[in-house]
Amino acid sequence: MTSKQKRKVKNNLVGYSFVLPNLIGYSIFILLPVIFSFVLSVMEWDGSRNPMVFVGLDNFKHLLEDSTFRISFVNTIKYAVFTVPITVVAALLLAVLLNTKIKGISFFRTAFFFPYIASLVAVGAVWNMLFQPDYGPINNFLRFIGIANPPRWVVSTKWAMAAVIIVSIWKYMGYYMVVYLAALQGISPTLYEAASIDGANGWKKLRYITIPLLTPTTFFVMIMLTIQCFKVFDLIYVMTGGGPGRSTNVLVNFIYDSAFVKFKFGYASAAAVVLFAIVLVVTLIQFRGEKKFVKYM
């Protein structure tokens, strides 16, 4: 071996030595399970010592016929359809309001961001009390403003999902507000000055400068939110446990129940593969979109 080759080998080895500690752990605890989930999805297995049985696409066929799966799928979509747009609009509005030079900005930013870092267990507990149908403050307030029969929220099959959606908007909009704030910093103030000279008012500036220039960010936020909605679980687990009935049962509820309550590990993995497919499609849309939205900032 020439000395040049030797040095190359040595360089490679040193490079690997940096990457390996993480790569080994990552491969065993993350990558392997990811690959294994596809294997498990075509197996039938109760998680015990009994051997796995290859069943082909049977698990997926059963999913199609399973009414609980269908309901959790529809519920997840319902959850996403309401959560995503409202969160986007609320986050954008808050960011625009906060993107001004006034006193106390950091207090407001803290207040809006704070729910994001609070633990879901505590947050779920307090909201369940706020939503308490008979004595809870929310319904007290609704009665006070003249609504005689306010919704029964988390104990009603009709309104439980709405309660969950309200809490998730409240919890996550601060996060996306910060994403928007960062993007707003990138818009050149000269644009607004020019618009002011042309006589544009605040609304016109928002409509014709801010919102169009934020399109790439909005797109990104929507993708992130959609993925987040499809993997929702903890919030629902602590607030409603998927009930009442199956009214707030979502995809991950279904995966969790199939595996850890009913011990149908293959079946649960098949549902997980469906979740993966959805997330993959959304991510691919993001890649396509990123190419389309030329960053004009």
Judged by CB under 8 A, the chain residues 176 through 195 that form the site for another protein are 176, 178-183, 186
> Which of helix, strand or coil describes residue 94?
helix
Q: How many CB atoms lie within 10 A of CB 14?
A: 9
- At 75, the amino acid letter reads N
The vertex-175 CA angle with 171 and 180, nearest 5°, equals 135
Among 6, 85, 140, 207, binds another protein (CB under 8 A): 140
Token digits of residue 148 = 């005689």
Residues 115, 133, 150, 243: which binds another protein (CB under 8 A)?
115
Minimum separation from the CB atom of position 220 to another protein (A): 5
Q: The tokens of 235 are what?
A: 């919030």
Does 121 interact with another protein (rule: CB under 8 A)?
yes
Q: How far apart are CA 12 and CA 18, in angstroms?
A: 10
Told to check if 211 binds another protein by CB under 8 A, we report: no
Taking alpha carbons only, the member of 170, 130, 162 closest to residue 248 is 162
Around Cβ 88, how many Cβ atoms within 10 Å?
20
Which residue in 7, 15, 70, 157 binds another protein (CB under 8 A)? Answer: 15
The single residue among 1, 3, 5, 29 that binds another protein, judged by CB under 8 A, is 29
**262 lies in the site for another protein, by CB under 8 A:** no
Residue 7, CA atoms < 13 Å, CB-side half-sphere: 3
Asked whether position 252 contacts another protein by CB under 8 A, the answer is yes
Pattern 151-170, binding to another protein, x per CB under 8 A?
A: -------------------x
For residue 200, state whether it binds another protein (rule: CB under 8 A): no
What span, in angstroms and rounded, lies between the C-alpha atoms of 236 and 230? Answer: 12
How many angstroms separate the CA atoms of 130 and 259, rounded? 32
Binding status of residue 221 toward another protein by CB under 8 A: yes
Kindly tell me which residue out of 44, 58, 132, 209 binds another protein, with binding defined by CB under 8 A: 132
Does residue 202 bind another protein (CB under 8 A)? yes
Beta strands in the chain (DSSP E): 43-44, 53-54
Q: Does 131 bind another protein (CB under 8 A)?
A: no
Count of CB atoms within 10 A of residue 209's CB?
17
Site string for another protein, 55-94 (x = CB under 8 A): ---------------------------------------x
**Minimum gap (Å) between residue 264 Cβ and another protein:** 10
Closer to another protein at the Cβ: 27 or 157? 27
